[in-house]
Amino acid sequence: AQSVTQLDSQVPVFEEAPVELRCNYSSSVSVYLFWYVQYPNQGLQLLLKYLSGSTLVKGINGFEAEFNKSQTSFHLRKPSVHISDTAEYFCAVSDMNYGGSQGNLIFGKGTKLSVKP
């Protein structure tokens, strides 16, 4: 079974600073990886996903993530954050061999990004 660990529950950062939100996963099979963002009192919005190909994935709002298979990581980065990036971010994984329970999306516990002026 897969699992996802988001290494930081809260990340405070000043506006225009770079940020990295860390995500590690464990799985016995190849996986698909996702990052979602949730603004206060709203639903989930897909930031980016890794399915195959280039290990550097670019998403919306200037975010990018790098898939590192050897380190089983999928860290999210942004070179310069804005106040409007304040939100909770979730890393999630599903395995590639769909059938039965496979294909279920497993979430990390989330990282709250707080951008201060």
Partner 1 sequence: NAGVTQTPKFQVLKTGQSMTLQCAQDMNHNSMYWYRQDPGMGLRLIYYSASEGTTDKGEVPNGYNVSRLNKREFSLRLESAAPSQTSVYFCASMTLGGTEYGYTFGSGTRLTVV
Query: For binding to partner 1 (CB under 8 A), which residues are involved?
Result: 6, 9, 32, 34, 42-44, 46, 49, 51, 90, 92, 98-101, 103-110
By the 10 Å C-beta count (0-12 exposed, 13-18 middle, 19+ buried), 23 is classed as buried
Residue 50 vs 81, nearer CB to partner 1? 50
Minimum distance of partner 1 from residue 110's CB (angstroms): 5
In the complex, the smallest distance separating the C-beta of residue 53 from partner 1, rounded to whole angstroms, is 9
Q: Minimal distance in Å, beta carbon 56 to partner 1?
A: 16
Q: Would you state the structure tokens that stand for residue 8, as one six-digit string?
A: 């930081």
Whether 4 and 24 have beta carbons less than 8 Å apart is answered as yes
Question: Among all chains, which residue has been given the structure tokens 């190909």?
Answer: 53
